[in-house]
A = this chain, B = another copy of it.
Amino acid sequence: MTVTLADVAARAQVSPATVSRVLNGNYPVAASTRERVLKAVDELDYVLNGPASALAAATSDLVGILVNDIADPFFGIMASAIQSEIGGPGGRAGGERLAVVCNTGGSPERELTYLTLLQRQRAAAVVLTGGAVENEPHAAAVAAKLRKLTEAGTRVVLCGRPPTPDTRAIALAFDNRGGARQLTEHLIGLGHRRLGYIAGPRERTTTRHRLEGHRDALAAAGIEDDPRRTVHGHYDRRSGYEAALELLRRDPDLTAVVAANDSVALGACAALRESGLGVPRDISVAGFDDLPFSIDAVPSLTTVRLPLAEAGARAGRIAMGREEPPPGGIATVRGELMVRGSSGVPRAERAAR
């Protein structure tokens, strides 16, 4: 029923081995023979059986990309960049690999199950993006899985995710801590002293690192870190909206709000505006990531730009073995402070001048 290698071989009057070699192009085949085979392939509309060849060759052309939330452009941008380097059809890479993105939804179990599924498919490489969960048993389970994968020859790259010790995984980590620190320093430099912070979910490395950077800056400026000025939520707009209201309730005199990311910041802006506060006139707001829509917000968002596409592309190349991994298998990717319209000198400061 379905066309097989043997059918092609028969038609081209050669052995199946020869057809296989023509298709894989890793063995000398006379030009005339090759042509005959290709003609037969074309005429029969033959499509290689992936599973069979993966089984025989003990490798596959599948590359997995794990993301926390595919509906979030933060991950979409990275995934897109990774995929374009992986090859997939038309990518820069030569071979045709099936780059597939798997949506974990931030769930540790799903993450693990996807890794198992990819292991089962004998994936050629796996790229994990985004922050990790800081839950000891889970982290250990993931580390163990990654170790197994690398041992089986699968290349593992972490993109925007902290290194996993005792694993041969390559890590390109974002300098969330440093970026957050710069951002808060910028606000402090403008004269802000009462800053609220809307953090992401607890137990995520990204959340912790950004929060630490914020606190570093406060500490360096000798500003007391009132725990009441920090609220935890999710990495989405809605969380930002609610958290901003909560912060305002706790301290109506806040002059700035730093958000865990841009979506959160935009939600916060909406809440502040609805509370009758002008941004940045009455209160400054800052985000993180610099997603495309941030520049379009009114006022445009002060934030930290993370080179998502560049990092993704690099991760993709490393996963394909087309770029040397960084020394030690670990590289830090820095962000860049983008000062825009949503941050300004606090009201009191202006009055004093």
Contact = CB atoms under 8 A, between A and B. Distances in A.
Contact of A55 (B49, B72, B96, B102): B49
Given A120-B47, A122-B50, A71 B77 contact: yes
A98 B88 contact: no
A239 interface: no
A211 interface: no
A98 B96 contact: no
Contacts of A296: 237, 266-267, 269-270, 297
B83 A103 contact: yes
Given A266-B296, A296-B237, A105 B84 contact: yes
**Tally of this chain's copies:** 2
A119 interface: yes
B102 A47 contact: no
Given A51-B55, A73-B71, A109 B121 contact: no
A336 interface: no
Interface stretch (A12-20, A110-118, A322-330): A110-118
Given A2-B152, A296-B297, A88 B102 contact: yes
A101 B101 contact: yes
| Those 8 A-B pairs whose CB atoms lie nearest each other, nearest first | A89-B113, A100-B100, A51-B54, A71-B76, A298-B298, A51-B51, A50-B120, A50-B121
Contacts of A70: 70, 76, 79-80, 83, 101
A75 B112 CA distance: 25
Contacts of A89: 109-110, 112-114, 117
Nearest to A90: B110
Interface of A: 2, 45, 47-52, 54-55, 60, 62, 69-73, 75-77, 79-80, 83-84, 88-90, 96, 98-103, 105, 107, 109-110, 112-114, 116-122, 148, 152, 237, 263, 266-267, 269-270, 273, 292-293, 296-298
Nearest to A144: B45
Nearest to A296: B266
A51 B60 CA distance: 8
Given A103-B83, A270-B296, A47 B237 contact: no
Nearest to A120: B50
A351 B330 CA distance: 65
A142 to B, nearest CB: 14
Contact of A88 (B79, B80, B103, B298): B103
A116 B103 CA distance: 23
Contacts of A54: 50-51
A73 B292 CA distance: 11
Contacts of A90: 105, 107, 109-110, 113
B51 A121 contact: yes
A117 B103 contact: no
B76 A98 contact: no
7 contacts: A55-B55, A90-B107, A96-B113, A266-B293, A267-B296, A270-B296, A298-B298
